[in-house]
Amino acid sequence: MTEIGAVVLAAGRASRFLAAGGLEATKLVATLDGEPIVRRVARAALASHTRPVVVVVGHAREAVASALDGLAVRIAFNPDFATGMASSLRTGLAALPSEIDGAVILLGDMPKVEPNLIEALLGAFKTRQGAAAAAPVREGRRGNPVLLGRKLFAAAMRLSGDEGARRILASIPPTEMIEVPADGWDLSFDVDTPSDLNMRDVT
């Protein structure tokens, strides 16, 4: 049986949000429809069949962890969060059980991710023998979240700086890369500034 976990990257400093007048310790605890955006992302992961769900914290770690109170997530602290996204990805993957077959990587500032999109990635990955990764595609462009199979974990652990999984996905042979049609889902909306919280109807 294929077991897929989830990693929510929620350790960044959110400098653009704060520079634009954000009052919270981090944008991840800013609210959308009355709920912290990082909690919305974590709930989407928990509503899917991904287990365990690991949330990587760093900057404002206590505030982010508090926003997740009551959710069945594992918190993993990244002491090197200031070096960029790669260190958080490494921290999250390292926190997963050794027997896990893959992980859905979610960004903590993308509150419009839906459980059924995560499920679509899981279903496509589990049914394609030899698959290394799965990513949603809308209008010819890949978006988030993405699913990394275990065979890519070693490459992900070698990333540095602010690199995410994009370069790894670009190197995968077409026969091992699954692109999941995602015309009905938002793959790009994220929160960078306080004004973005007023754009929840953008699709």
pLDDT at site 51:
98
Which has the closest alpha carbon to 56: 98, 105, 7, 97? 7
Instruction: Indicate whether 200 pLDDT > 90.
Output: no
State whether residue 203 is helix, strand or coil: coil
195 pLDDT above the threshold of 90: no
Burial 39-57 (b: 16+ CB within 10 A, else e): bbbbbbbbebbbebbbbbb
Percentage helix, strand, coil, to 5, in the chain?
35, 20, 40
Mean pLDDT of the chain: 91
Going along the chain from its start, the domains and CATH numbers come out as 4-196 (3.90.550.10)
pLDDT digits (tens, 9 = 90+) for 80-109: 999 999 999 999 999 999 999 999 999 999
Distance CA 188, CA 201 (A): 13
Ranking 12-26, 106-120, 133-147, 152-166 by mean pLDDT, the lowest is 12-26
Predicted pLDDT at 112: 92
Q: Which DSSP letter does residue 10 get?
A: E
